[in-house]
Chain A
Amino acid sequence: MSAPLQDQGPPLLRVEGVRKYFALTKGILFTRTLGHIKAVDDVSFDIRAGETLGLVGESGCGKTTTSRMILNLEEPTEGRILLEGEAIHGLQGDALRAYRTKVQAVFQDPWSSLNPRMKVGRTIAESLIVNAWGDRAAIDERVRELLVQVGLRPEQAQQYPHEFSGGQRQRVALAAALASRPRLIVLDEPVSALDVSIRAQMMNLLKDIQAKDDVAYLLVAHDLATVRHMADHTVVMYLGKIVERAPTAALFDDVRHPYTKALFSAVLEAWPGQAAEEIELKGEVPSPLDPPSGCRFHTRCPYVMPHCSQREPALREVSPDHFVACHLFE
């Protein structure tokens, strides 16, 4: 069990020992469980108001499942998630509605995140309408304001998504997320589908909005450079587990976990010829259905030690606020 981040104040969102297992079953009447896909396995972290937490990892590491649990789209198998001290799963009625206004999301694919049959103004206004935020005029005014805020023109509220480019759609999605003045926005790979030139616009916009509205971000990403530019804290996940967690600056200064190191060396810097210490990982990510024993990374780790396959390393603090789950640091 890992300790929560040391914090200055109470966290906005606290993820406590959360696990998500998807059961694989067999049988018709009397089902036997063959095993579980351990998509997320004992993950804890905090997000403080107004700050950005980066969640990094390769596909299948559990970062998206984690974000979906925070969005209350999935129930955790174990553990709990607290928003402002209140557990979010099991909320009903008004409490759930209140929660829905506080946590919003922007997803990766701008082509699938807008209802093609709905005017974008209506999409942006949706959370206001369902939460009876105000009368029609007030909502229209708010939509105009939001459109301007994300760098679009107010009259574009009357257009349909197909009239927008990918970058513009992502701005609309952001406007819709901002509508209810949320405290936390889950950004699931918000820029990875965008072109390089548009990506920078979007990242700047996100930062501007955070500065102005004091909203917290959970940034799910696979691109370390993006995380570096956006996040205050960074959590690195591998096969459902947190392997390293630290303030972003500290992490980029001093990478500890071998997996994180491999991840860093796999980043192809846009500056040719920079020969850094390079760790090329062999093989592929093992199946989460049957994760390796002990340290889950031991099958691919260049520094593997005999006991790595036996014991699971705990997440321990190796320097202030820098946690690593690796036997090398025991």
Chain B
Amino acid sequence: MKRYIARRLMQGAVLLCMVATIVFFLGRLTGNPVDLMLPEDATAEDRAALTQTLGLDGPILDQFAIFVGKAIHGDLGTSIRMKQPAVDAFFDRLPNTLVLIPWAILLGMLLGIPLGVVAALHRGGLLDRAAGTVAVLGVAMPSFWLGILLIFVFSVELGWLPSGRMGGPAHYVLPVITLGTFLVAGFMRITRSAMLEVMESEFVKLARIKGLSEAVVIWKHCLRNALIPVLTLWGVFVGNLITGAIVTETVFAWPGIGRLTYEAVIYRDFPLLQAVIILKSILILSINLAVDILYAYVDPRIRLA
């Protein structure tokens, strides 16, 4: 296991280097933040001065060398727009996103897994198709559209829920629904197919031969096995959620890293953008690693291998 983790960490490091390099050069191609920071009638002189202040004037390779040198020491630069260390900006906002994600996953699982089980139990039947349709509806609706509709219905028309921003528990409802619905289909599909596979297996037959009740057979023997592939999805989903957060956080004025990312692109805040992408990659990689370790815990075949 240790060896496995070590290897994964190594791979992660290589990956991060790739990501960092791509981001650096791509970011430099996308435009210059100077113009966004200056009024339209700034003079060429103002422009040059600001470019120098921001350290954007050297040859790009020199800039890259400086970037790498600092990055090794954990300094991913200072946000041009917010004038604070980019790493700090990221970690300031990260909790706001992190409090959203578990709820979204929970919502996805609470709806998706039972739907998947029901669909598998009624394979090919009406309930299967109904469950499938309900679940797929989540992926079929663009999340920004869903978010706007939810605000319009539940906040503006009905006045039940606040329409945006972080706040008390009520503030979580709409963003979590927006973020979580698209997971339902994923969880449902994988639960369904895993259940179908497991339900055909010999050990389920043996469990029935033992005379166990149908509930124990389905919810203990089948589901526990079916949950293993469900778990592998977590890694993918968290990645999706972090990306999906860009849209959700924009719609709901949620001050998380999704919004931060979007702003970093829009304002060409290179250091911030680099930091956000690199730190996000670290986040996704660590979550994937954590999921794999968890996976090993759930599946004894891996744990004890």
**Chain A interface residues (CB < 8 Å from chain B):** 26-28
Of all chain A residues, which has the CB nearest B9? A28
Query: In the bound complex, what is the Cα–Cα distance between A104 and B160 (angstroms)?
Result: 75
Task: Give the residues in chain A near B10, CB-CB below 8 Å.
Answer: 28
B129 contacts chain A at the CB level, 8 A cutoff: no
B7 contacts chain A at the CB level, 8 A cutoff: yes
Query: In the bound complex, what is the Cα–Cα distance between A169 and B7 (angstroms)?
Result: 44
Of all chain A residues, which has the CB nearest B6? A28
Query: In the bound complex, what is the Cα–Cα distance between A84 and B22 (angstroms)?
Result: 56
Query: In the bound complex, what is the Cα–Cα distance between A28 and B7 (angstroms)?
Result: 6
Q: How large is the interface on B (under 10, 10 to 19, 20 to 34, 35 or more residues)?
A: under 10
Binary per-residue interface labels of chain B (1-37) against chain A in the complex, 1 for a CB within 8 Å, 0 otherwise: 0010011001000000000000000000000000000
Chain B's nearest CB lies how many Å from the CB of A31? 10
Task: Give the residues in chain B near A26, CB-CB below 8 Å.
Answer: 3
Query: In the bound complex, what is the Cα–Cα distance between A27 and B6 (angstroms)?
Result: 9
6 CB < 8 A contacts A-B: A26-B3, A27-B3, A28-B3, A28-B6, A28-B7, A28-B10
Chain A's nearest CB lies how many Å from the CB of B102? 32
Q: How many inter-chain contacts with C-beta < 8 Å in the A-B complex?
A: 6
The 6 closest A-B pairs by CB, nearest first: A28-B7, A28-B6, A28-B10, A26-B3, A28-B3, A27-B3
Task: Give the residues in chain B near A27, CB-CB below 8 Å.
Answer: 3
Query: In the bound complex, what is the Cα–Cα distance between A27 and B3 (angstroms)?
Result: 7
Of all chain B residues, which has the CB nearest A29? B10
Query: In the bound complex, what is the Cα–Cα distance between A136 and B65 (angstroms)?
Result: 62
Chain B's nearest CB lies how many Å from the CB of A32? 11
Of all chain B residues, which has the CB nearest A27? B3
Of all chain A residues, which has the CB nearest B11? A28
Task: Give the residues in chain A near B3, CB-CB below 8 Å.
Answer: 26-28
Chain A's nearest CB lies how many Å from the CB of B212? 30
Query: In the bound complex, what is the Cα–Cα distance between A26 and B4 (angstroms)?
Result: 10
Residues from 181 to 239 in B contacting A, C-beta threshold 8 Å: none
Of all chain B residues, which has the CB nearest A25? B3
Of all chain A residues, which has the CB nearest B3? A26
Chain A's nearest CB lies how many Å from the CB of B1? 12
Chain A's nearest CB lies how many Å from the CB of B225? 25
Chain A's nearest CB lies how many Å from the CB of B10? 6
Query: In the bound complex, what is the Cα–Cα distance between A94 and B3 (angstroms)?
Result: 43
Chain B's nearest CB lies how many Å from the CB of A22? 16
Query: In the bound complex, what is the Cα–Cα distance between A9 and B7 (angstroms)?
Result: 54
Query: In the bound complex, what is the Cα–Cα distance between A28 and B10 (angstroms)?
Result: 9
Chain B's nearest CB lies how many Å from the CB of A287? 14
Task: Give the residues in chain B near A28, CB-CB below 8 Å.
Answer: 3, 6-7, 10
Chain B's nearest CB lies how many Å from the CB of A37? 15
Query: In the bound complex, what is the Cα–Cα distance between A26 and B2 (angstroms)?
Result: 11
Chain B's nearest CB lies how many Å from the CB of A57? 27
Chain B's nearest CB lies how many Å from the CB of A228? 33
Chain A's nearest CB lies how many Å from the CB of B210? 26
Of all chain B residues, which has the CB nearest A26? B3
Query: In the bound complex, what is the Cα–Cα distance between A177 and B278 (angstroms)?
Result: 55
Task: Give the residues in chain A near B6, CB-CB below 8 Å.
Answer: 28
Binary per-residue interface labels of chain B (252-272) against chain A in the complex, 1 for a CB within 8 Å, 0 otherwise: 000000000000000000000
Chain B's nearest CB lies how many Å from the CB of A307? 37
Query: In the bound complex, what is the Cα–Cα distance between A186 and B7 (angstroms)?
Result: 40
Task: Give the residues in chain A near B7, CB-CB below 8 Å.
Answer: 28
Query: In the bound complex, what is the Cα–Cα distance between A27 and B4 (angstroms)?
Result: 9
Of all chain A residues, which has the CB nearest B8? A28
Query: In the bound complex, what is the Cα–Cα distance between A194 and B303 (angstroms)?
Result: 37
Query: In the bound complex, what is the Cα–Cα distance between A28 and B3 (angstroms)?
Result: 8
Query: In the bound complex, what is the Cα–Cα distance between A27 and B7 (angstroms)?
Result: 8
Residues from 129 to 173 in B contacting A, C-beta threshold 8 Å: none
Chain A's nearest CB lies how many Å from the CB of B236? 25
Query: In the bound complex, what is the Cα–Cα distance between A26 and B10 (angstroms)?
Result: 15
Chain A's nearest CB lies how many Å from the CB of B265? 36
Query: In the bound complex, what is the Cα–Cα distance between A26 and B6 (angstroms)?
Result: 11
Chain A's nearest CB lies how many Å from the CB of B13? 11
Query: In the bound complex, what is the Cα–Cα distance between A146 and B236 (angstroms)?
Result: 51
Binary per-residue interface labels of chain B (261-303) against chain A in the complex, 1 for a CB within 8 Å, 0 otherwise: 0000000000000000000000000000000000000000000
Chain A's nearest CB lies how many Å from the CB of B14? 12
Chain A's nearest CB lies how many Å from the CB of B290? 20
Chain A's nearest CB lies how many Å from the CB of B256? 35
Chain A's nearest CB lies how many Å from the CB of B289? 15
Query: In the bound complex, what is the Cα–Cα distance between A27 and B2 (angstroms)?
Result: 10
Chain A's nearest CB lies how many Å from the CB of B5? 10
Residues from 85 to 106 in B contacting A, C-beta threshold 8 Å: none
Chain B's nearest CB lies how many Å from the CB of A6? 47
Chain B's nearest CB lies how many Å from the CB of A289? 14
Of all chain A residues, which has the CB nearest B10? A28
Of all chain A residues, which has the CB nearest B4? A28
Query: In the bound complex, what is the Cα–Cα distance between A258 and B223 (angstroms)?
Result: 48
Chain A's nearest CB lies how many Å from the CB of B203? 22
Chain A's nearest CB lies how many Å from the CB of B116? 29
Of all chain A residues, which has the CB nearest B7? A28
Chain A's nearest CB lies how many Å from the CB of B47? 48
Chain B's nearest CB lies how many Å from the CB of A218? 34
Query: In the bound complex, what is the Cα–Cα distance between A93 and B102 (angstroms)?
Result: 58
Query: In the bound complex, what is the Cα–Cα distance between A26 and B7 (angstroms)?
Result: 11
Chain B's nearest CB lies how many Å from the CB of A30? 12
Query: In the bound complex, what is the Cα–Cα distance between A28 and B4 (angstroms)?
Result: 9
Query: In the bound complex, what is the Cα–Cα distance between A27 and B10 (angstroms)?
Result: 12
Chain A's nearest CB lies how many Å from the CB of B126? 31
Binary per-residue interface labels of chain B (52-96) against chain A in the complex, 1 for a CB within 8 Å, 0 otherwise: 000000000000000000000000000000000000000000000
Query: In the bound complex, what is the Cα–Cα distance between A302 and B6 (angstroms)?
Result: 47
